[in-house]
């Protein structure tokens, strides 16, 4: 894999989202990777809708768009130009290669397919690790329970919605910030 293919694959990996329990890429992200306008990509898809059944492509709902904007996946609704985005599954991205025929589209499609495969491999590896951990836990008695619990915690995805403040904080810093917060509340 060339360095440009690798760079495209990394960009694609970062843009794969989980929507409706499916791994998808948004039309605007794909258009950027392909080097075309989103409008042109959507137009090509609409001209070939018979190639994109529901399990290849779906249009997001208003609620899904609002959720993506609130999570900063989409910068702002205005950036969409009033259009609701399309979400392409892995098969939909593969089908785009038959619709967009430029040499860049072929190169990008190959890199995106590799990104999806890599993501599947990472998920399979994690599942295999969880299975092995469970087997070991059954094999060994309670003396290793703490170790198994710690490993399970490390494997669990981080809880959503919790953001920790970055940087090093001393006790004095925490005390000062609490004092300032109290002072602001007082009239």
pLDDT tens digits, one per residue of 27-38? 988 888 888 888
CB 7 within 8 A of CB 107: no
Question: Is there a contact between 105 and 112 (Cβ–Cβ < 8 Å)?
Answer: no
For the segment 51-64, the average pLDDT, to the nearest whole number, is 92
Cβ burial, residue 168 (10 Å; 0-12/13-18/19+): exposed
Q: Please choose, from the candidates 63, 87, 65, the residue with its C-alpha nearest in 3D space to the C-alpha of residue 74.
A: 65
CA distance 10 to 146: 36
pLDDT given at position 172: 54
The pLDDT, as a whole number, for residue 154 is 73
d(CA 42, CA 52): 12
Query: Is pLDDT of 79 > 60?
Result: yes
Q: Are strands 22-26 and 86-89 parallel, antiparallel or unpaired?
A: antiparallel
Q: What is the pLDDT of residue 102?
A: 77
pLDDT digits (tens, 9 = 90+) for 120-167: 777 677 777 777 777 776 666 666 666 667 777 777 766 665 555 555
Domain presence at residue 181: no
Q: Is residue 166 part of a domain?
A: no
Give the mean model confidence (pLDDT) for residues 10-38: 86
Task: Answer yes or no: is 161 within a domain.
Answer: no
Residue 95 lies in a domain: yes
Is residue 73 over pLDDT 80?
A: no
C-alpha 53/C-alpha 89 separation (Å) is 10
Domain contains 78: yes
Of 79-83, 128-132, 148-152, 170-174, the poorest mean pLDDT is in 170-174
% of residues, the chain, pLDDT over 90: 14
**Does residue 133 lie in a domain region?**
no
* pLDDT of res. 184: 54
- Range from 17-31, 77-91, 119-133 carrying the lowest mean pLDDT: 119-133
pTM higher than the cut 0.75:
no
Contact yes or no for 108/34 (Cβ under 8 A): yes
Higher model confidence: residue 45 or residue 105?
45
Question: Average pLDDT of the chain?
Answer: 76
11 falls in which pLDDT band (50, 70, 90)? confident
Q: Which domain holds residue 51?
A: 3-119
Structure confidence at residue 57 (pLDDT): 95
Count of the separate structural domains present in the chain? 1
Distance between CA atoms of residues 151 and 86, nearest Å: 38
User: What stretch of H or E contains 59?
Assistant: strand 57-59
């Amino acid at each position: 894999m060339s360095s440009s293919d690798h760079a495209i694959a990394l960009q694609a990996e970062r843009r794969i989202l989980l929507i409706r329990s499916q791994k998808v890429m948004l039309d605007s992200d794909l258009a950027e990777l392909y080097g075309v306008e989103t409008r042109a990509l959507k137009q090509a898809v609409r001209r070939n809708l018979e190639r994109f059944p529901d399990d290849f492509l779906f249009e997001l709902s208003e609620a899904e768009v609002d959720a993506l904007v609130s999570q900063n996946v989409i910068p702002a609704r205005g950036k969409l130009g009033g259009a609701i985005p399309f979400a392409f599954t892995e098969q939909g991205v593969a089908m785009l290669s038959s619709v967009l025929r430029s040499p860049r589209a072929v190169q990008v499609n190959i890199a995106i397919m590799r990104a999806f495969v890599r993501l599947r491999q990472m998920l399979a590896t994690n599942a295999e690790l969880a299975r092995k951990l469970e087997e070991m836990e059954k094999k060994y008695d309670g003396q290793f329970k703490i170790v198994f619990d710690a490993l399970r915690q490390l494997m669990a995805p981080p809880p959503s919605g919790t953001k920790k403040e970055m940087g090093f904080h001393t006790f004095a810093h925490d005390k000062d910030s609490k004092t300032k917060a109290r002072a602001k509340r007082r009239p």
